[in-house]
Copies of this chain bind each other. A is one copy, B any other.
Amino acid sequence: MNSHQNEIRFQPDGIRIRVGNGATILEAAQRAGIVLNSFCGGIGTCGKCLVELEDQAEPVKACQYHVTSDLVVTIPDSSRFFEQKILEEGITGTAKLDPSVRKDYLELTPPSLDDLRSDDRRLIDAVHESAKQSDEAVEPDTSVEADQNGAAEKGGEPDKIALKIDRDLLGKLPGVLRENDFRVTAVRNGNRVFAVEPGDTSGELFGVAVDVGTTTVVANLVDLNSGKTVAVASQTNPQVTYGDDVISRIQHSRDNPDGLEQLHSLIIGCLNELVQETCREAGVSAESIYELVAAGNATMQHLVLAVPVVQIAEAPYVSAFSAGVNASAQQLGLKINPHDNVYVMPSVAAHVGGDTVAVTLSAAMRHSSSINLALDIGTNGEIVLGNRDRLLTCSTAAGPAFEGARIRQGMRGAAGAIERVHINDDVEIAVIGGGRAAGICGSGLIDALAELLNADVIDPSGKLLSGDDLGENIPAAIRRRVIEVEGRPAFVLVEKDQAKQDEPITLTQKDIREVQLGKGAIYAGMVTLMHLLEIEPDQISRLYLAGAFGNYIRPESARRIGLLPNIELGRIQSIGNAAGTGAREVLLSRLARKHAKNLSVEMEYIELAGRAEFQDIFGKSMMFPKP
């Protein structure tokens, strides 16, 4: 492995990324946020990740092609996980471009003695006609049916959309119609017409889908006419000023009179900057953005809306809201079209937020007949298990080990982090961004433990062997790496560079224990849900790994250390930033929004804290599985 950097450009996305020599195209795509099929777990047997290279006639397997130079890589839809899933499984509803926000360019007949309809009725009739012509599925006007006196209602128009004009728009309506010879573009969200623009602006229709993470906020600017993402931007969540995790932010809001408002202002400011950045990049006016969909954990979603969070951190831990919320962009201080809607995703519980609903939505678990499992690992690990009949979900305190915290030389998955470890006769490592290693991140840690288990340097109890405990077959180069740090065994991953007088990078016994705690909790959560659903691991059709961590993890290593259950590698699929994908689906499809709403009600939250069974399994799960 080598630190030389190569630029990979993915088409038709236009995304560029730099990776070191030896990385696969599959890994590079993951880094770029593009989820490729890897049904075989990236071992080259399924042939589903084919990509085209500029200078080669035949397509190549992305998982097998190691990068050694700059490349232009074209990825067909058939190799993309989400696109292909839609093609094969026919989740047409979710796939259909049917955004809640619509524009209709209208050439209205001006009023005359023969046609004295009021401005609002004239507009609504025309919008309805336009929707009918575009064969759009419209919401029926149920007000007539809902009549309670049982009498047959005359004159009802059951095929009419129950459109309503925003009260704020009424004041502008007579002017904008007459100043533009009754040629205007009506903008609506659902059944609410909220803007009328001069002339034909139907080509400019954008939305933003945001994954509001505790650590990182990612915004996708999406063209709602084409469904394509036109720009992506991300920022560190500025609330980190008040602490890395949700608990410290909640404490800040509790201990300071203005705490809630401060946290709210910070995230709104961040959203405004991300909107500006994506608009600048794509050459789009922020006025052309008509909706923003936000998915995050419950705490982040509360803070976006300035709703108190204290009760999330106090037993028995509940949210102020779990339904999806529509809020006014103007009221929240968002600098997009002032009449715009902000839709905050529905959630399940205080510890299973809108992000998990979005993950479940994007993996289409609600429509699958076979049983699937989704796992999103951060400080907490959210787990969803089930199929269209029943979906269980829980949250486990994964512990911060996988984010590099509480690990002696741990760090986040940033430049300088060891992200891959391979042990053969000696130790080989890959470092993010190449160059000298500065520490180790979650995926490197899992790799290291899996390889050390395979090399018999760690035993199934998690003990780091040394001296005579080490087997005779262990190569000398490996044996030499077992040293002592603070009186206890440690394993040297990167030796000290004598010239630079730096420190070696070592893995300590305590580091191993931290990983055991985290992976034990997640595994015990999965087993608890499996028990409740009365299934065995081999009945899990597919295991989805969501989030940045899911993208970088090596499934076989995760399975080896018992973070994942013992199922075929070919059934494990990384699905990237699935929370963002789900939020984009909700932005693009009214049906997806309904699915999300239904998911939030249907997903059964299992509180692990109250279960003796969980504690029992947790104790056993801290062990490593036998090979």
Q: Residues of A at under 8 Å CB distance from B?
A: 92-93, 98, 111-114, 116-121, 124, 137, 139-140, 142-144, 146-149, 151, 153-156, 164-165, 167, 170-171, 173-175, 178, 305-308, 310-311, 316-323, 325-328, 331, 347, 349-350, 367, 388-389, 590-591, 594, 597-598, 601-602, 605, 607, 609-610
Beta-carbon nearest neighbor of A114 in chain B: B610
Name the contact of A319 in the complex, choosing from B112, B118, B305, B349 (C-beta under 8 A). B118
Which residues in B have their C-beta under 8 angstroms from that of A605?
A: 116
Q: Tell whether, in the assembled complex, residue A610 and residue B320 are in contact, meaning their CB atoms are under 8 Å apart.
A: no
Which chain B residues border A590 with CB–CB below 8 Å?
148
Task: Say yes or no: A350 contacts B305, CB within 8 Å.
Answer: no
* B305 near A143: Cβ-Cβ < 8 Å: no
> Cβ of B142 and Cβ of A607 under 8 Å apart?
no
Q: How far is the CA of A308 from the CA of B605 in the complex (A)?
A: 52
Distance A325 CA – B119 CA, assembled complex (angstroms): 14
Is there contact, CB below 8 Å, between B120 and A321?
yes
Residues of B within 8 A of A124 (CB): 323
**Please, could you name 19 A-B residue pairs with CB atoms under 8 Å apart, sorted by A?**
A93-B147, A93-B148, A116-B318, A116-B349, A116-B605, A118-B349, A119-B321, A148-B590, A153-B598, A154-B602, A155-B598, A155-B601, A170-B320, A170-B325, A171-B306, A171-B307, A173-B307, A173-B321, A174-B308
Contact of A146 among B98, B140, B173 (CB under 8 A): B140
Point out the residues of chain B lying under 8 angstroms from A112, CB to CB. Answer: 316
Tallying the copies of this chain within the complex gives: 2
CB distance from A312 to the nearest CB of B (A): 9
CB atoms of B323 and A111 under 8 A apart: no
A305's partner among B114, B144, B167 (CB-CB below 8 A) is B167
Query: Which residues on B sit within 8 Å (CB–CB) of A328?
Result: 167
Contacts of A151 in B (CB 8 A): 93, 367
Is the pair B305, A607 in contact by a Cβ cutoff of 8 Å? no
**A113–B171 CB distance below 8 A:** no
Is the Cβ of B119 less than 8 Å from the Cβ of A149?
A: no
The answer to whether B170 and A119 have CB atoms under 8 Å apart is: no
**A92 neighbours in B (Cβ, 8 Å):** 149
Query: What chain B residues lie within 8 Å of A146 (beta carbons)?
Result: 139-140, 594
User: Among B98, B111, B153, B322, which residue has its beta carbon within 8 angstroms of that of A118?
Assistant: B322
- Nearest-Cβ distance from residue A143 to partner chain B, whole angstroms: 6
**Is there an interface contact between A327 and B118, defined as CB atoms closer than 8 Å?**
no
Contacts of A178 in B (CB 8 A): 311
Instruction: Decide yes or no: A111 and B322 within 8 Å by CB, A171-B306, A305-B167, A350-B118 being known contacts.
Output: no
CB of A514 to closest CB in B, whole Å:
28
Q: Are A143 and B597 in contact (CB under 8 A)?
A: yes
Contacting residue for A142 out of B93, B142, B349, B389, CB 8 A: B142
Which of A147, A148, A154, A327 has most chain B Cβ within 10 Å?
A148
